[in-house]
């Protein structure tokens, strides 16, 4: 009976949070949250929505890796999805932050733009780190295990 209970419980991968990728994901979330707060203080709805959406996506990917759902939901190649998210989010945040910096009238927009650029740099680093780990000619389980280095 205890074996049946262990199969239904979720295992939390705390080692992921201590890994380079986990720390990078947490840093992305912190910078996205700070940018969100800055844009919210400046009352910029378009910027608020963009940073909140990317914060949510990053949080869900972090949750996916922490709960090891990427090993259960194998119909997607999660590292590649994470790379695409990081690349497109970085490009979007660079454009968004540059627009915020060039058109700011309130200090909150300036702060949000600067922190948004910092977040874009972290997203670029995440995409480079992930892309180095992805090799398309190895079996899937070897590629997934490399993501925790």
**What are 92-107's pLDDT values in tens digits?**
999 999 999 998 888 9
Cα torsion at 58, 60, 143, 12 (round to 10°)? Answer: 120
pLDDT bucket at 1, cuts 50 / 70 / 90: very low
What range does the domain containing 133 cover?
A: 14-146
Question: Does 9 reside within a domain?
Answer: no
The answer to the question of residue 5 being in a domain is no
Question: Could you give the C-alpha distances from 80 to 9, 10, 67, 90, 118, in angstroms and in order?
Answer: 27, 24, 18, 15, 23
**pLDDT of 71 strictly over 50:** yes
- Is 6 contained in some domain? no
The dihedral sign for the CA sequence 67, 74, 146, 83: negative
pLDDT tens digit string along 110-148?
Answer: 999 999 999 999 999 999 988 887 766 666 555 455 555
Indicate the number of domains in the chain: 1
- pTM, rounded to two decimals: 0.80
Q: Which pLDDT score, from 0 to 100, does residue 80 have? A: 85
């Amino acid at each position: 009976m205890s074996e049946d209970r262990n199969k239904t419980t979720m295992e939390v991968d705390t080692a992921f949070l201590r890994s380079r990728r986990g720390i990078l994901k947490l840093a992305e979330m912190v910078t996205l949250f700070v940018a969100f707060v800055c844009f919210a203080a400046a009352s910029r709805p378009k910027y608020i929505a963009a940073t909140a959406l990317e914060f949510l996506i990053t949080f869900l990917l972090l949750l996916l890796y922490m709960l090891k759902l990427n090993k259960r939901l194998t119909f997607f190649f999660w590292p590649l999805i994470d790379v695409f998210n990081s690349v497109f989010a970085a490009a979007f945040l660079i454009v968004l932050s540059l627009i915020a910096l060039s058109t700011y009238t309130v200090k909150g927009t300036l702060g949000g733009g600067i922190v948004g650029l910092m977040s874009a740099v972290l997203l670029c680093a995440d995409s480079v780190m992930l892309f180095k780990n992805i090799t398309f000619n190895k079996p899937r389980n070897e590629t997934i295990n490399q993501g925790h280095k």
